[in-house]
């Protein structure tokens, strides 16, 4: 019986914070190196008497991948003819710890920080010259910022977030060529540096974002 009571007490202690926790969902759009869309959720009131929460989200950004002629020189070491067509996108995943603060007229206002994963793909097609290649990047980083929500009904709020992500090691690879910000490059066809590749692709270690949208709880 004592074992049963101990198990029941442990379950109650675990279940109590979860029962008190508050879950909300959000959909946002704005600027993050291009036109971005982000959806996710927030778990607040995780610990009684502490303004702590967890945020998680996934995003998709459509962007200009970079200068097609510069990318062709850097990754292929060739700059022949053709008419360039470009397309680019990046998707990201993020998990944040949130410290909620009191701000007049706002709910779920808080400072957040956490882990980032960003996957980029930029395609360069030269019509009339039979050249078509894609440059990729998959990187991990850290980020932080501020967020808040303005209630418009008991369940709906207008929400916003502004942040800055940092990727300590950037990688760009395509057409058998890899450039790393750490300097460990694999340049099969070219003699360029990571700085050349980064400038050609409009990819940087720091990524700011400003988004607005709606949340439901």
> DSSP per residue over 14-75, as a string?
HHHHHHH-EEEEEEEEEESSSEEEEEEEEEE--BTTB-EEEEEEEEEEEE----HHHHHHHH
Q: Which residues are CB-contacts of 196 (< 8 A; sequence separation ≥ 6)? A: 70, 74, 179
Q: What is the pLDDT of residues 63-89, one digit of tens each?
A: 999 999 999 988 887 777 899 999 999
Cβ neighbours of residue 22 closer than 8 Å, sequence gap 6 or more: 43, 44, 45, 217
- Segment 53-58 mean pLDDT: 96
* E-strand stretches of the chain: 22-31, 35-44, 52-63, 83-100, 107-127, 131-151, 156-166, 171-174, 177-180, 186-187, 206-216
Over residues 109-141, the pLDDT tens digits come to 999 999 999 999 999 999 988 889 999 999 999
Domains of the chain, by residue range, sit at: 22-216
Looking up tokens 């008419």, which residue turns up?
Answer: 83
Percentage of the residues of the chain whose pLDDT score is greater than 90? 65
pLDDT digits (tens, 9 = 90+) for 191-210: 788 889 999 998 889 999 99
Overall average pLDDT of the 177-198 stretch: 81
With a cut of 90, say whether residue 55 has pLDDT above it.
yes
CA angle 183, 188, 191 (to 5 degrees): 60
CATH 2.40.160.70 fits 22-216, yes or no: yes
Confidence of residue 94 (pLDDT cuts 50, 70, 90): very high
9 pLDDT more than 90: no
- DSSP annotation of 13: H
User: Exposed/middle/buried for 155, CB within 10 Å: 0-12, 13-18, 19+?
Assistant: exposed
């Amino acid at each position: 019986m004592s074992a049963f009571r101990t198990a029941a007490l442990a379950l109650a202690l675990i279940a109590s914070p979860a029962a008190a926790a508050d879950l909300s969902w959000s959909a946002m759009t704005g600027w993050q190196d291009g036109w971005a869309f982000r959806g996710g959720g927030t778990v607040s009131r995780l610990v009684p008497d502490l303004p702590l929460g967890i945020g998680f989200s996934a995003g998709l950004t459509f962007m200009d991948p970079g200068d097609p002629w510069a990318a062709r020189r850097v990754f292929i070491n060739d700059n022949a003819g053709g008419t360039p067509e470009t397309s680019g996108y990046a998707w990201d995943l993020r998990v944040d710890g949130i410290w909620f603060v009191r701000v007049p007229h706002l709910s779920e206002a808080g400072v957040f920080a956490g882990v980032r994963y960003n996957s980029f793909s930029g395609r360069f097609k030269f019509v009339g010259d039979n050249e078509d290649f894609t440059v990729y990047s998959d990187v991990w980083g850290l980020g932080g910022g501020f967020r808040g929500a303005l209630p418009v009904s008991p369940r709906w709020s207008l929400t916003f977030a502004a942040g800055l992500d940092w990727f300590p090691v950037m990688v760009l690879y395509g057409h058998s060529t890899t450039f790393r910000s750490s300097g460990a490059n694999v340049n099969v066809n070219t003699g360029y540096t990571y700085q050349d590749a980064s400038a050609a692709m409009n990819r940087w270690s720091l990524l700011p974002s400003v988004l607005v949208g709606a949340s439901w709880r």
